[in-house]
Structure formats: structure tokens, C-alpha cells
Amino acid sequence: MVEIVCARAAYQLVYTYGVYQPDGTLQPLTLDVFYPDEAGQMTRTSDPTIGGLADFDGASAELTVFSKARGLGDCGSLAEYHWTGRELELLTYRYQECMDAAADFIKPADYPQIYP
């Protein structure tokens, strides 16, 4: 599996992931994420890119991506994936909506769990 930086945003990078094939080609991977729809319901989708602060632990084969919705980092998402050798399988997904009013800071690990 390879990680490719596609762009640099204000607070984080945008990544895409792929797998080198025996013939030398790169097979793109997708990552499952959730977005709120117009009614506020969380909808699952697969995207070829993800923005955030990514960290891959080779020992556990887990990829963690913290996506800040704003610089403070008090809202956004925290996703954990497991590399199966073929795909990045979503393990957990947490999401915290941005609030206008001043509120206590919530650590990403404490965001409400959307999945599973």
C-alpha cells in the first residue's frame, strides 16, 4: 500500500491510497467516510481521497485519519481503518459537528461514534 499526498490544505493534507500490482500498475483504493446530508442524517460513501492528519501503524496495520473541520480541531471526524492486504476496511468512524457557541473542547477520540 502506498500513500500519495495530493494537496495541502490550511490545517491538513489530502491523501489518496493505492496498491502496487505485480504488473507495475497502481490500483486505487477508496476509503469509507460519512457526511451529513441536508436533513442532518449521516450518509456513508466511498471516496478516493481523504483530507486530514493521517497516521499508519505498520505493526497493527491500522490507518487513523483525523479530519479537522476547522483549525481549532474541536470538530470534524476521526476514522480508523484496517489494512487487510487488499483494502482499507473501516473499523470506527467518529464525527463532531461544529458548534457556533463556545463549548468545552472535545478530543477527537471522544467525538460521537457514528460507525459501527
pLDDT tens readout for residues 86-97: 999 999 999 999
Q: What is the pLDDT of residues 2-50, one digit of tens each?
A: 999 999 988 899 999 999 999 999 999 999 999 999 998 999 999 999 9
How far apart, in Å, do the first and last CA atoms of the chain sit?
Answer: 24
pTM of this structure:
0.92
102 pLDDT band (50/70/90 cuts)?
Answer: low
pLDDT in tens, 38-86: 998 999 999 999 999 999 999 999 999 999 998 878 899 999 999 999 9
Closest CA to 68 of 54, 48, 47: 54
Three-state secondary structure readout of 73-105:
CCCEEEEEEEECCCCEEEEEEEEECCCCCCCCC
User: Where are the domains positioned within the chain?
Assistant: 2-115
| Residue 110: Cβ-neighbour burial (10 angstroms; 0-12, 13-18, 19+) | exposed
